[in-house]
Structure 1
């Protein structure tokens, strides 16, 4: 689904329509842009296209919407086109009543080619009494292809079948970039989730569908979401890119993730992410030698780094500097640097790790 901003011109819309392959979904913000909507219906290449109309319009525009757009929608359908209505449900009750009036009027004229998409940016689907009061979902599930954003229960299967794809920032791309990335496959666009598990499910599909450079929205994850994704094991699917983002976000948000050292399997992780490639050979050896509640002496560290336990071959300052660099590195990788504890007069120990 292509969703572009209101400032885009009629020329942009016509160009987008004319270059689409059959079956492409076109997304269009409605507010105050009825002329832009009309230009779609006037396009010569709209046959077999899927038209998306954003119903999140101001109440005062409802009458204009019905009188101006509905006849054109009917004409569009009779010519073999398909229509999708996109609705943002995070609106106040007054706007919803007007919106329902418009959507009810449209649905009476539609057949099974009419696809209705709910863009829930709040947990409104859980408020069943409110929805039932307005008879909002009545007849929709049985008579219309229904993609419920609030639960995403049907979306994974559709994604797997490659019938639709899912993105969150597609509307920021230029027309050329949109066409290049989508290749005519319908896309659903979502910009906000309230449920971490729901978001995690969607990100899992995004990670599998897109290259790492396309998952730009991961840069905007909150620290809480990052922690949730670690628990879900979602941040290990795209390699170094995801790892880089974790370092950046963790560093900026001052959160710490668990340092896990497995000497037997020769693995060192921060959260669910391996950091082996981010450590020097000395740093890895030092961490593998550290054990919970077990102290490692400066002599042992010197032997690891310099091959000698003789005090004449190293200084306490040099050893402390090695540990300081290791702590800084762990901080940048998202771990708590205090996990390496200084034992005055002896050396160091590890406060917390899983063997």
Structure 2
């Protein structure tokens, strides 16, 4: 009964989702699942998703099965990459402070983790919700636990307030930059727990600094994470990359659709990826809407904007101020 509820959902909610997605009818007869439909591909896809859910349950992870996972598996079955996705979902990155495994959820995320393990510098470009930041912190935490590195250094351009205006914010340097690094901190708290994470920060094992403060330093045996890199110029990124010392690695993450610089052409992330991508020991990973692992609607939003961008419609939509002026 417990297994059936985990795989089929409360009151067979997941079954109805599969029936609607693949135009099939699903029933349980004598402990066997029966799938009927006029389209053989729809039937095949529905069976594949049910088998994948059974596999996930048998691995002791029935609690991970939820509505968002069903949507993701439906999409992957339709795209013909369900088996690859389920295999990716078995990859454990590290454990949370409560012992729960942090796993990849898409083939793209699995490739991202592999790139961080195998390369000195990894540049990850992708839309919101693809796990760029969280997985970078998780991988860094695992390397710290194993003793591969001595410290984690987290940074990002504090573009909202302007690097030169950090002094107007209250508190010491760490407190000034904390609001900008909240996503990184949230991931740290998940993995180490809030108390241990704060102790690691106090000891300097985890360091937080604005990107501008990297100049002149040499970083040895460290994992350097630079978040929101799309808001840094090519010159600032070059400065950061050349800080790497012995036994260190670096991960730059960014979403080129969310550039907050006054002039979007000042963003150096894609330019940097094109320049250094061919160098051995540097990997450039591109995630897309298929790697979005937040609420399904986030994936739909990303898809809609990607479609609008491709059709060059975004620039044709008048902004709020222009509409307001016309109405006046």
Q: Is the shorter-chain TM-score for this pair beyond 0.5, marking a shared fold?
A: no
Whose Rg is larger?
A: 1
Counting helix residues as a fraction of each chain, which structure ranks higher? 2
When normalised by structure 2's length, the TM-score is: 0.26
